[in-house]
Amino acid sequence: MSEERKGILYTFLSYAMWGFLPLFWKLLEHVNSMEVLVGRVIWSFIFTMLAILFIGQRKALFQDLHYLWQHKKQFISLIAASFMIAVNWYIFIYAVNSNQMLETSLGYYINPLFSVLFGVLFFKERLSRMQLFAVMIAFIGVMVMTLNYGRLPWIALCLALTFAIYGVLKKRIVLDALRGLTIETLFTLPIAIVVYAYLFQQGNASFLHDNWSTNLLLMASGIATAIPLICFAKGAQRIPLYLIGFLQYIAPTMMLIIGVILYKEPFTKVELLAFSIIWLALAIFSISTLREQLVRKQKLA
């Protein structure tokens, strides 16, 4: 299997898992969103650190930290990425547990537009005419969804921007996915511990004060966080940023379906129209990309 195909597979799996993730956070809707966030950081670090120790990569982790310390630009980029993803996590958890899942879906529909823009600006990636046409159609669909809200969808915009910036920062860093996530959570770990200590002091923590299922779910948040992020990191290093952006439509589509069917959030004819426009853009983009791959293979043959 080629590196590009591996990248597509890893990225597809990450977005599919993210699409199902709202079902997990809904189980914790009785817990304060800030506690869910800091618990997510702490347990993600614990889970990834245990995995590193289990597979014998402790020495490699210290080598990564030494390398980052010597390469300050990548060190700063990873710190920035860790805070970007933490902000993204909080907004997502808050939106899902406050019954705004459709707006989270809108955010991840908007995200590929930011990803395409950043890919052109920072990595000099080029789009074919058909791909550019698909982006324009997708933009129309997103605008229809945005106008339908009748207000600035700040949740959607913040989710889109923070994750697109995270993708750019991760693209610049060549690290093993598992160790990279461990270092990311290490950077935000001190803040998470301080916040959790404050919640315990104020008597506002659910962990160890609620039922056993809540405790287990909070601990499992580390695994639910780590696995899709590791897949995303492995995929992001192998494929162009614009392709990452369009594969991301998998997650918001799943969120949209879950929000409408399972949680009965309103889905009007206008939203159905926008949804159809975006899928048309996806079809055009996919056909264009497939044709380019076939032409490239014929030239190499």
Tens place of pLDDT per residue across the chain (301 aa): 778 788 888 989 998 998 999 999 999 988 989 999 999 999 999 999 998 998 888 899 999 998 888 888 888 988 999 999 899 999 999 998 888 888 888 888 777 777 777 777 777 777 778 878 887 888 888 788 778 777 778 898 899 899 888 888 877 777 777 888 889 899 999 999 999 999 999 888 888 888 899 999 999 998 998 888 788 878 877 887 667 767 877 888 899 889 889 888 888 888 888 878 878 887 887 777 667 766 766 666 5
Exposed, middle or buried by CB within 10 Å (0-12, 13-18, 19+), for 266?
A: exposed
Q: Flag whether the pTM goes above 0.75.
A: yes
Measure Cα distances from 106 to 52, 226, 246, 256 in Å.
Answer: 36, 24, 14, 9
Predicted local distance difference test score (pLDDT) of residue 241:
64
Q: How many structural domains does the chain have?
A: 1
Predicted local distance difference test score (pLDDT) of residue 190:
94
In whole angstroms, give the CA distance from residue 225 to residue 227: 6
Predicted local distance difference test score (pLDDT) of residue 217:
93
Question: Coil, helix or strand for 210?
Answer: coil
Predicted local distance difference test score (pLDDT) of residue 301:
58
Predicted local distance difference test score (pLDDT) of residue 145:
76
Predicted local distance difference test score (pLDDT) of residue 245:
64
Predicted local distance difference test score (pLDDT) of residue 39:
93
Instruction: Note down the domain range covering 85.
Output: 3-300
Q: What's 275's DSSP letter?
A: H
Residues in CB range of 4: below 8 A, 6 or more apart = 238, 239
